[in-house]
């Protein structure tokens, strides 16, 4: 979807819309890959929260370097197309506002910290319950087969049910993914609006100069 606020602020011709659609297509392709990586990352981190860090997030999902390379490639591609339609226009990477790259991966810190604590407590609780149940059945029954059968029927995992460790991990995975997804969507919108603004402003500037030159 094209941001309608861009249209209200700037007059957008069919020529300009063509390049807006090109920008959005490239962004969709790039961020669809990021979302797939985010799903994989969320599965890894939900199962082992302690392995999360900014470097790992940047390596597996999105990094400042990846953003820079993407912007340089899309700008180069659009500049090449502009050469065939409009003389004098050339946008470079420096035209795009810088991002706070410290946010890459850091926005998950509190979430991961809380999930780590929850999972540790749940895991310990299950082990304590299993140990207590095992001791109880050992005292009640001398038959090992009966003991093992009872322990399979009654366990810490089944007692906690929806709140057991396995279900906690599944919930955490979904929540981590949603949080990363929100971050990626915000980043995508930010990049889209900046790219569209820069190119439309450049086009309008050249058109105005040509109009002034024709009048003179």
pLDDT digits 0-9 by tens, 172-209: 999 999 999 999 999 999 999 888 888 777 766 655 55
How confident is the model over 10-31, as a mean pLDDT?
Answer: 81
pLDDT surpassing 60 at residue 213: no
Which region among 44-48, 110-114, 136-140, 142-146 has the lowest average model confidence (pLDDT)? 142-146
- Whether 4 maps to a domain, the answer reads no
Helix boundaries (H) for 48-164: 54-60, 64-83, 109-140, 144-153, 156-160
| Residue 143 to residues 131, 135, 146, 148, Cα–Cα distance (Å) | 17, 13, 5, 9
Report percent pLDDT > 70 for the chain: 74
Range of the domain at 82: 13-215
Task: Round the average pLDDT of the chain to a whole number and report it.
Answer: 81
Residue 146 lies in a domain: yes
Question: Does the pLDDT value for residue 93 go beyond 70?
Answer: no
Asked whether residue 167 is assigned to any structural domain, the reply reads yes
Closest of 70, 54, 79, 18 to residue 188, by C-alpha = 70
CA gyration radius for the chain?
27
Per residue in 118-136, pLDDT (tens digit) is 999 999 999 999 888 888 7
pLDDT, greater one: 151 or 23: 23
Q: Who contacts 37 (Cβ-Cβ below 8 Å, separation ≥6)?
A: 60, 61, 62
Choice among 3-12, 137-146, 176-185, 195-204 with the minimum mean pLDDT: 3-12
89 confidence band (pLDDT: 50, 70, 90):
low
Domain count, the chain: 1
The pLDDT value given to residue 196:
85
Q: Tell whether 6 is covered by a domain.
A: no
Q: What percent of the chain has pLDDT over 90?
A: 40
Q: How far apart are CA 199 and CA 89, in angstroms?
A: 9
Residue 2: the pLDDT is 45
Q: Which two tokens stand for residue 2?
A: 């094209």
Tell me: pLDDT of 12 over 70.
no
| 8 belongs to a structural domain | no
Of 54, 70, 68, the closest CA to residue 102 belongs to: 54
Among 11-20, 61-70, 202-211, the least confident range:
202-211
Helices (H) and strands (E) in the chain, counts: 8, 0
Residue 201 vs residues 11, 13, 74, 84, 154: alpha-carbon distances, Å: 10, 12, 17, 18, 68
Tokens of residue 177, six digits: 């993914």
**Chain-centre distance for alpha carbon 65:** 15
Phi and psi angles of residue 105, each rounded to the nearest 5 degrees, phi first:
95, -25
CA-to-CA dists, residue 93 to 10, 112, 130, 199, angstroms:
22, 34, 59, 12
Q: Please determine, for residue 155, whether its predicted confidence score (pLDDT) is greater than 70.
A: yes
Confidence at residue 135, expressed as pLDDT on a 0 to 100 scale: 83
Give me the half-sphere count of Cα atoms (radius 13 Å) on the Cβ side of residue 163: 10
Confidence of residue 8 (pLDDT cuts 50, 70, 90): very low
The conformational region for residue 161 under phi > 0 = left, psi -120 to 50 = alpha, else beta, is left
Which residue matches tokens 């339609």?
A: 85
């Amino acid at each position: 979807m094209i941001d309608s606020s861009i249209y209200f602020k700037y007059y957008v011709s069919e020529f300009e819309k063509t390049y807006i659609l090109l920008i959005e297509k490239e962004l969709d392709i790039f961020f669809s890959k990021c979302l797939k990586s985010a799903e994989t990352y969320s599965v890894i981190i939900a199962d082992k929260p302690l392995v999360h860090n900014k470097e790992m997030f940047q390596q597996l999902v999105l990094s400042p370097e990846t953003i820079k390379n993407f912007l340089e490639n899309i700008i180069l591609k659009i500049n090449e197309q502009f050469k065939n339609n409009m003389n004098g226009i050339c946008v470079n990477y420096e035209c795009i506002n810088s991002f706070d790259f410290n946010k890459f991966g850091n926005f998950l810190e509190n979430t991961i910290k809380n999930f780590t604590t929850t999972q540790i407590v749940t895991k310990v609780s299950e082990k304590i319950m299993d140990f207590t149940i095992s001791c109880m059945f050992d005292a009640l029954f001398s038959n090992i087969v009966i003991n093992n059968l009872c322990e399979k029927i009654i366990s810490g995992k089944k007692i906690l049910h929806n709140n057991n460790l396995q279900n906690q991990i599944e919930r955490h995975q979904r929540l981590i993914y949603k949080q990363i997804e929100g971050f990626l969507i915000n980043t995508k919108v930010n990049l889209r609006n900046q790219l569209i603004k820069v190119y439309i402003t450049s086009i309008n500037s050249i058109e105005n100069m040509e109009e002034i030159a024709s009048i003179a």
